[in-house]
Structure formats: C-alpha cells, structure tokens
Chains A and B, each alone.
Chain A
C-alpha cells in the first residue's frame, strides 16, 4: 500500500468509517481511565491541594493547541506544494480542533487561576500568547468560511496559517519580554523544578489520550470535509447509493 493510495479521497472515505468508529470508542475508554487516574489515584499536591488536578486537562490541552497548529501548517505546506487534496482538507479541519483546544486551555486555566493566583485572568506572557493563538485560529477559520469556493478558501487559509507559524514565536517572545518588563507586584511563578513521577505519568498519559482524541476527531472531520466537497462527484454518489 503506498501513500498516494491513502491520499486518494475515495479510498480514505470508504476505509476510515470503521477506523473512526473504533478510535472514538478506544479514546472514550482511555479518556475515562485517564480522568479517573488524574482525579482520584494521583496524589494530592502539598502546595495547591486538590485544585491542581485540573492540570490533567489544562496542560495537555495547552500542548495540543500548539501541536495542532504545527500539524496544520505542515499539512498546509504539503497541500500547497504537492497539491495533495486530502492534506488541503486536513489542514483546514485542524483549525476548529486547535481553536477548541486553545479555548479549553484558556478556560481551565482561568478556573485554575482563581484558587491558585486569586484571580481569573492576569496579562501574563503565557496567557496572552495563548489568547493571541486563539485569535489567529479564529482569523484562519473566518477567512476560510468567507470564501464560497472551499478549495480557494483552504488555499488562502493555508497561506495565513504558514505566515502565522512564522509569527507565533515572534509573538511569544515579544509578549514574554513585554511581561518581564512590566513585572507587576504579584509574581505568578508556580514552576517547580520537577514534577514527581506519580503526577507526571498520568499527565503524559493524558497527553497521549488527547493526541488520540485529536486524531479521531480529525479523521471524522476529514470525512465530513470530503462529504462537503465531493458531494457532486460520481464515486461519492455511487458509494452513497450502494
């Protein structure tokens, strides 16, 4: 089996149905187990008490928000250079998932911030750059959705995504620098040198589960994207009629 065969829309659409079904089932079970591990089995933090347990959702979501962006850009580059149709769909379908992870990271971060820092929001470097990442995701989504021709829209959105990837480190470091210059009276430092392995292992496990969730949702969204774009093509009608 070679790559060009997987990249074939028809092949992917027909074969990903069962794959998506099984993957969502596996992801659900692994996720429930991970949540139970994080919420009940992992030890209590001596400094933050029980409230730190939101970390098991917050940290993987924040990691994924960047990872999905990088994945989206790689797919965008492949789609622009080699004109691989499925990568075009994959890159644009990453954007809502990434925006969703960014939103989760922001909201859980705000919930976590209240007991730990005493406030929901501070204009801290990391929070601000995460918020800007959300704006970039939203910009890509709005740009894509305002085109009537979806292929054209995904091409233009791909350019924006690639330029955004160049810009994200610049934004990150400038925001970090801005914050260190404007260091307020409240010092928000909660980074300890290391996390104990009894907390780290469930965290990495949850990161793995979130990745699995991303792949599952991506496959399902690509299927949906194929439905939207290929609804008039012959193989699609044949497949639906069968």
Chain B
C-alpha cells in the first residue's frame, strides 16, 4: 500500500518536472533580486542573507501551496479517496513528505551555492541549512492545510497565503533567532530543539486535520 502511494506521488512530480524546477528557479530569481535592490554591499548582504533566504523560501512555498490539492480536486480523485476504504491519512502523510522532498529539498540542496554567492560564514550556512531542514516541513504542512481550506473557492490565488502566513510566525521567529545566535557565536541548540518540537507536534496531527478539512471542503 505504502509503495503504491509513494510511487503515485513520485510519478506526479516526475511526469511534470515543472513542479520541481519552477520553485527552484523562482527561488534563485528572488534571491538575486535582493542585491540589485539593496546594493552590492558585501558586509550588509552577508549579514542579512539568512533572513533573505528565509523570506524567499516562504514565498516559494506559498506560491506552490495553491496547487497542492487543486489538480486532484479538479479531476475528482479526492472524492474517490474519501469514499474508498483506504487509509487516506497515510496518503496525506506521504503527500506532505513528497511535497517537501520535491519542492523544498531542491532549494535546501542549493544553500551551499547561495552561501558562496553571498560569502556567508560556515557557521551561518550550517544554521540556515539546519533550520530549513526542520522548518520547511512545517511550512509545507501548513501550506497543505491552507490549500485544503480554500478548495471550495473558485479564485483563491492570494487567499491561501493570507490565511497561512500568520501561522508561519513561530517557525520564522525561532529560525531567525537560531541564525542570529550562530552569527554572534552563541549556542543555538535550544531554538533548533523548539523547531523540532513544533515539527513533532504538527506532522502527526496534520494528516488527520487535512482529512477532516477535505471532508468538509468536498461536502459542498
């Protein structure tokens, strides 16, 4: 069962490579706009680049958060899932993981490149890397939740981001403060642990919450 689910989700991404490449290209585009706006001051850029990376990652996940369920909703497969005798929670959990693997992980993979472009310190790069690894699954699951909430709305381009961004705030606060602590040579384990705790809180609950939300959204 799990194998079929994973294969299905992987096929979605491999048959439509845009889903993988568009977020990556968008990420690089936005990242490279910042120096043009702020000026090529190296000291300033290397100081604020962790924040820029985080903002860009948020924009990327928000941009792709609209499509998480839209295709499945349009071709009616979500109804089929909900009426079938399969464990839809498992499917949703795999979907969260696959979404993260194919939209966020490629970005995280390129963080070393970004750190060279903006001459970040090793410590700073490592913290950005760690916070992104732990923080982006939270962002993705919240994005899926927002996308499930707005399924019934015909035109919801900007609706999902507006609903979801306030829920991103704890993740942002702890990531930013971990990076800042690392930059000033302080221990940052505590913030990482709190982020991991948030992840451990959200990841098990989210499939059930998504299932309930989809039930309500479909029953219109």
Interface residues of A (CB under 8 A from B): 132, 135-136, 138-139, 142-143, 146-147, 149, 152, 155-156, 159-160, 163-164, 167, 170-171, 174-175, 177-178, 181
Expressed in whole angstroms, the Cα–Cα distance for A142 and B155 within the complex equals 13
Whether the pair A174, B152 counts as a contact (CB closer than 8 A) is no
CB < 8 Å neighbour of A132 from B153, B169, B174: B169
B171's closest neighbor in chain A, by CB?
A: A174
Whether the pair A152, B166 counts as a contact (CB closer than 8 A) is no
Q: What is the interface of chain B mostly: helix, strand, loop, or mixed?
A: helix
A-B contacts counted at CB < 8 A amount to 68
Whether the pair B163, A160 counts as a contact (CB closer than 8 A) is yes
Whether the pair A178, B153 counts as a contact (CB closer than 8 A) is no
- Chain A nearest CB from B115 CB (Å) reads 24
CB < 8 Å neighbour of B170 from A136, A163, A170: A170
Residues of chain A within 8 A of B145, CB atoms compared? 163
Residues of chain A within 8 A of B198, CB atoms compared? 170
- Chain A nearest CB from B23 CB (Å) reads 24
Whether the pair B152, A143 counts as a contact (CB closer than 8 A) is no
CB < 8 Å neighbour of A159 from B159, B177, B216: B216
Q: Mark B37-61, 1 if CB is under 8 A from A, else 0.
A: 0000000000000000000000000
- Chain A nearest CB from B176 CB (Å) reads 8
Whether the pair A171, B166 counts as a contact (CB closer than 8 A) is yes
Residues of chain B within 8 A of A139, CB atoms compared? 162-163, 166
Residues of chain B within 8 A of A171, CB atoms compared? 166, 169-170
- Chain B nearest CB from A22 CB (Å) reads 38
Whether the pair B150, A136 counts as a contact (CB closer than 8 A) is no
Whether the pair A160, B149 counts as a contact (CB closer than 8 A) is yes
Interface residues of B (CB under 8 A from A): 145, 149-150, 152-153, 156, 159, 162-163, 165-167, 169-170, 173-174, 176-177, 198, 209, 212-213, 216-217, 219-220
Expressed in whole angstroms, the Cα–Cα distance for A163 and B210 within the complex equals 12
Residues of chain A within 8 A of B177, CB atoms compared? 177-178, 181
Expressed in whole angstroms, the Cα–Cα distance for A155 and B174 within the complex equals 32
- Chain A nearest CB from B114 CB (Å) reads 25
CB < 8 Å neighbour of A143 from B150, B169, B212, B216: B150
Residues of chain A within 8 A of B174, CB atoms compared? 174
Using known A-B contacts A136-B166, A159-B149, A160-B149, determine if residue A174 contacts B213 with beta carbons closer than 8 Å.
no
Whether the pair B149, A174 counts as a contact (CB closer than 8 A) is no
Expressed in whole angstroms, the Cα–Cα distance for A98 and B175 within the complex equals 30
Expressed in whole angstroms, the Cα–Cα distance for A146 and B157 within the complex equals 12
Whether the pair B159, A142 counts as a contact (CB closer than 8 A) is yes
Whether the pair A135, B166 counts as a contact (CB closer than 8 A) is yes
Whether the pair A146, B165 counts as a contact (CB closer than 8 A) is no
Using known A-B contacts A167-B167, A175-B173, A178-B173, determine if residue A152 contacts B150 with beta carbons closer than 8 Å.
no
- Chain A nearest CB from B202 CB (Å) reads 10
Expressed in whole angstroms, the Cα–Cα distance for A136 and B146 within the complex equals 13
A151's closest neighbor in chain B, by CB?
A: B220
B170's closest neighbor in chain A, by CB?
A: A174
A162's closest neighbor in chain B, by CB?
A: B209
Residues of chain A within 8 A of B156, CB atoms compared? 146
Whether the pair A142, B153 counts as a contact (CB closer than 8 A) is no
Expressed in whole angstroms, the Cα–Cα distance for A171 and B212 within the complex equals 24
Expressed in whole angstroms, the Cα–Cα distance for A7 and B61 within the complex equals 42
Residues of chain B within 8 A of A156, CB atoms compared? 149-150, 152, 213, 216-217
Expressed in whole angstroms, the Cα–Cα distance for A138 and B158 within the complex equals 14
Q: 17 pairs across A/B with beta carbons < 8 Å?
A: A132-B166, A135-B165, A136-B166, A143-B159, A146-B156, A146-B159, A152-B216, A152-B220, A156-B150, A159-B149, A159-B212, A159-B213, A159-B216, A160-B163, A171-B166, A177-B173, A178-B176
